[in-house]
Structure 1
């Protein structure tokens, strides 16, 4: 259990203590996770082996929330049973109460039901059951309360975080559309919120003396609300969606004058599992420990113990690995799972009780519990639900989703982005808000739309599914087709964007990084994505930029992304943080060298081999940001800093690596090395350690330079 930080709800000005309450919506009111959510609610789907709702509840408990109302509708019995089984309903520090409804088909309906129950008595936290966070609520809650004391119309504070929209796909790393917001930089009041390319209302520019337009923000879907928020939903039955209807409705409502504010977090983590891409991204963030202490090797909410090894490999103590099975970096293997000979697993999460045969290749995939993968199978960037069976030599192309107990026949190849279920696909695609009706104790969904489309009772539907052979003669499952208007499944897929699609997008992205200049005639200010004044850059800003570049580089390594696409991602970061090319060069060089250190080695010579191999592999990417002597000097200074501080293991190799950069890969010119020497000559003795180490090499350079001059004369 994560240690509680503070009772954020306690207010010294109050004579009586009002417990901090929260509403957790345990229904997504969406269909993005179909066909999986036909049988199990989204909040109970495993995220790195733990049901999503447990992450949300654990964070609320650690942040000081004392009373949570869990609203559940679709699969409500499953949610209630899980809460009882996991002991959340008996938690001594946080009271958890369920509110069940079978008539709600939207978040707005849920808020109206909660209002009618009259259970909320003060400011409350509104969150969905698919949210992962480790942020402290204290600061945001205090800001909200202070504003409320001055202005009772300040009814909501929403948590946001700087994101990294892709310049080629115009979506965030979580697979959501690029978000455009207008914020008053002085008060943090939200003025406009658009999750598409709709132009900003020009009246905002004339009505506000100071305004900041941002396209690099991520909505964390964590809101601190005044009690009036619930009554607003009851007053307006058009409010269905939390953002599209309610939030935008308040922003344009000129009668009530209610206000919404933002609280931006920086070093903390907060994200919502919106689609399959964000499911994959957040899983990787957990494995990479951005969500600490909500990580697999820390005991929390009753999870099975796993141990963290080298290269980010997590494993339970009772797994069965063949002696020649290869387990790659950033992988988790759960309790009771076995992996056969010559099988390779990397960047994947494998649950409990799985049986993986010999000569199997698994990359970037999510394999839940009790899955059987027979000999010779291959799968990349896929999700396999509980009980799935892949017969011998079956292949899953990137982006495949296999729902519960699907069987893929021998030698069968499932096409990219396919979704396979034991249920037939409904004839009509439901809207995002339509509820997935289900309420059976055995966990099998009773889907009204499916029954209507087949014209037969649910029992017959299941028996027909068992006879399905769309996935091989000895398989069982239906391949769902893509509905009209949903052709861009790749945007929300668990798989990286394919090379042909990237090539198509790159063709249209030549001038996407051009930054417009907009002026407000009342208060002249550049309204662009960067929110950092380059003259006021802090160490935190620089550190955050370098971490983002490192995360981008790690994804490029794991997903085999081409250099050109990495450049686009880094350029978008450079734009967002107002950084120079030298900063990009230093951050990328740091990322390459850190990977070399983290790659297994048993001697200094093996470490040198790692360094030279990786620099040679990524030389083209590094060269892109080394267009002048200044950038090259920055790389030398960054390397010197690493040898002194973060990776002292590299210090004996300083001169050899410097020489390699100059002679072998032509990344550093002679002029840059001599300029670095000149800068260091006047430094203190302690800052000249690596200059002394490199003296023989520098002297050799000078001698060669003199000889060249003599030959020219």
Structure 2
């Protein structure tokens, strides 16, 4: 939807959204009554989407026992708003929002939001109280469609916890054109590269690694597996019969399933015909792939420059939140008004602040922090890499680091909160400490000086006496309150629970036996050092040879005698690699982790993308210069000081990749490229930045002189920066000549 002015949508006439129960789905049409003479072709081409507003999982318990996941705040905006804003901006005209758990809350939210009156997106709600899986939801929708025929053609299938900015129109058209040629092509899945690394791709932790096989020419999905990969060896056993009817197969273990699908109507009918299809991937996709009778096909579409991610556990919640703050999701960022949310002001070092937030002068609010409306920050507070919601009151000398404080939270003096999630209306009394990984659900009260143990989940609701046997099962309810549906879960809610100290209120849930050692995987807390070492070791141990396995990345080609493996050629891989390196560098700056860890991260990216050391040098230097340009400055001199300070501080990181002359020349070429792109800012500083790199021993004189010699033969238009640094080049030459003369004299004396 983009940057829409505050209040713009609110001026529209209301009345376009409704809770559609069975039998009344066709009652309305965007802009008024359904036009009777609308052609069948126009109806077929209408861009529609089905949005599942229920995750059908329990991963966000105990929070989701009281509020649906799609209404949980993500950088102070409900998750579903990101999904709807993206669908609208991508050209979708009509969205069917399927509601199950806490359906009343979702429907009421949409009715009271500006989506209710949006001029270009018609939002309809479909309510079911018995669906316990995505399969049940799609079967319920199909039953309604049999009576009303509201979904008239291909549609986008997405969940309400999706954040994306990718375009959809061309992808939908691609799907339709493929369907014209092959009527068995019923789905196109969106995938993207997700390089395994210990620091920036934490969202993959706690979830099964994905392994897929794709036809390199048609992009047809041939194999999909989430749970049979040997993580320690990085390999998978694969039946060679896969090549019987496919002369060439691309294998991937570095792809992320975005759970964004373009579907033909046959998808709904397949769910209706197969009641054992519950999960969209484990059951439906794998079922289609092994069904030789119907012959239906699923295809893939890989995105490169766009953003797309799902929030399926607390760790991915943390990762996506950071991506939003660091603006990878633009235009869906805190300082843009989308879906009627009040924008925040972007300040220095990437700190976002509401216009009426009150910050004490002695408070230290660091980079990558968000401060919501009506929030007060006390004296001596230290807040870093955190999101603070609306209406919060934070006392004096409070430390909040890497945490998410939702709305109307009260934190008294002297508290410490690190890498935690604190829900609405929580009260944390003076001196209390939340250790990493803690989740406090709604209205919990932490007692004075109480220490909440790491990875604890705390709620006013007692833990279920009997856990659900199926991880897909959350529950369905028809009320917005808690009393009725909680009784069916063997839960209790008391007015005062004292597990959080004498003046506290809340129950600390016990971790199930067997899952205790896995809590860190799903947490917003950083990876423990011992676990980080295990992950790194596993990444390094993927070269074990075995005749029974095939590599997890590359192309298999059919051959009468053998199978040859060749790595596939990446599309714009360097651009994606450069962006990943930049993200790593920014996290190193903002979170202050050691240069050695940054090198470890970049090295894992280097291996994943099959890059050279020179590529790492160029990408690292680019990240430094971009940070210098993005840091507020009022003059060229100030920009130069920014750049010099960053290069000097992180010369150890850059120096690791510029040990050879060719690698140093790559840095000079990258500087030249950036000066051309930002001619007004960096352009005049080329020679001075070159001097800084020389003075801090990142560049040797041989590299600079060799670059100058190569540039001497270029066209005059390409000699701008060579001419700018001619005095410096001449000085280096003279110094080199003096050194040679001194060497000759020493040899003669010897």
The SS at the match of 1:291 is coil
The SS at the match of 2:248 is coil
TM-score after normalising by structure 1: 0.89
For 1:385, the equivalent position in structure 2 comes to: 423
Partners of 2:303 and 2:635 in 1: how far apart? 41
Partners of 2:727 and 2:365 in 1: how far apart? 39
For 2:27, the equivalent position in structure 1 comes to: none
Superposition pairs for residues 199-210 of structure 1, below 5 Å?
A: 199-210=237-248
After superposition, the C-alpha distances for 1:329-387 in whole angstroms (9 at most, x for unaligned) are 22221111111112122222211101111222222221111011112222222211101
Distance 1:705 1:158, change over 3 A: same
Distance 1:629 1:101, change over 3 A: same
The two structures, once aligned, show a CA RMSD in angstroms of 2.9
**Count of residues paired in the alignment:** 690
For 2:486, the equivalent position in structure 1 comes to: 447
Assess if the C-alpha contact under 8 Å between 1:426 and 1:449 holds in 2. Answer: no
Partners of 2:511 and 2:357 in 1: how far apart? 38
For 2:266, the equivalent position in structure 1 comes to: 228
Task: For residue 657 of structure 1, report the CA deviation from its aligned partner.
Answer: 4.6
Indicate yes or no: 2:601 matched with 1:569. Answer: yes
Indicate yes or no: 2:341 matched with 1:303. Answer: yes
Assess if the C-alpha contact under 8 Å between 2:57 and 2:473 holds in 1. Answer: yes
Distance 1:169 1:485, change over 3 A: farther
Task: For residue 637 of structure 1, report the CA deviation from its aligned partner.
Answer: 2.2
Distance 1:592 1:414, change over 3 A: farther
Partners of 2:131 and 2:87 in 1: how far apart? 24
Task: For residue 557 of structure 1, report the CA deviation from its aligned partner.
Answer: 2.6
Superposition pairs for residues 12-23 of structure 1, below 5 Å?
A: 15-18=41-44, 19-23=46-50
Distance 1:662 1:210, change over 3 A: same
Indicate yes or no: 2:210 matched with 1:184. Answer: no
Superposition pairs for residues 471-486 of structure 1, below 5 Å?
A: 471-486=500-515
Partners of 1:277 and 1:204 in 2: how far apart? 35
Distance 1:170 1:24, change over 3 A: closer
Task: For residue 175 of structure 1, report the CA deviation from its aligned partner.
Answer: 6.0
Assess if the C-alpha contact under 8 Å between 1:374 and 1:393 holds in 2. Answer: yes
For 2:518, the equivalent position in structure 1 comes to: 488
Aligned equivalent of 1:548, options 580, 584, 587: 580
The SS at the match of 1:84 is helix
Aligned equivalent of 2:473, options 431, 434, 444: 434
Aligned equivalent of 2:101, options 74, 99, 111: 74
Aligned equivalent of 2:720, options 680, 686, 690: 686
Distance 1:66 1:604, change over 3 A: closer
Aligned equivalent of 2:395, options 349, 353, 357: 357
Superposition pairs for residues 450-529 of structure 1, below 5 Å?
A: 450-451=489-490, 461-463=492-494, 466-486=495-515, 487-512=517-542, 519-522=556-559
The SS at the match of 1:70 is strand
Distance 1:62 1:656, change over 3 A: closer
The SS at the match of 1:295 is coil
Distance 1:479 1:703, change over 3 A: farther
The SS at the match of 1:329 is coil
For 1:672, the equivalent position in structure 2 comes to: 703
TM-score after normalising by structure 2: 0.85
Superposition pairs for residues 247-646 of structure 1, below 5 Å?
A: 247-430=285-468, 431-442=470-481, 446-448=485-487, 450-451=489-490, 461-463=492-494, 466-486=495-515, 487-512=517-542, 519-522=556-559, 531-532=569-570, 540-600=572-632, 607=639, 610-646=642-678
Assess if the C-alpha contact under 8 Å between 2:103 and 2:480 holds in 1. Answer: no
After superposition, the C-alpha distances for 1:131-153 in whole angstroms (9 at most, x for unaligned) are 11222211111111111112211
Assess if the C-alpha contact under 8 Å between 1:167 and 1:512 holds in 2. Answer: no
After superposition, the C-alpha distances for 1:468-491 in whole angstroms (9 at most, x for unaligned) are 232233222222222233222222
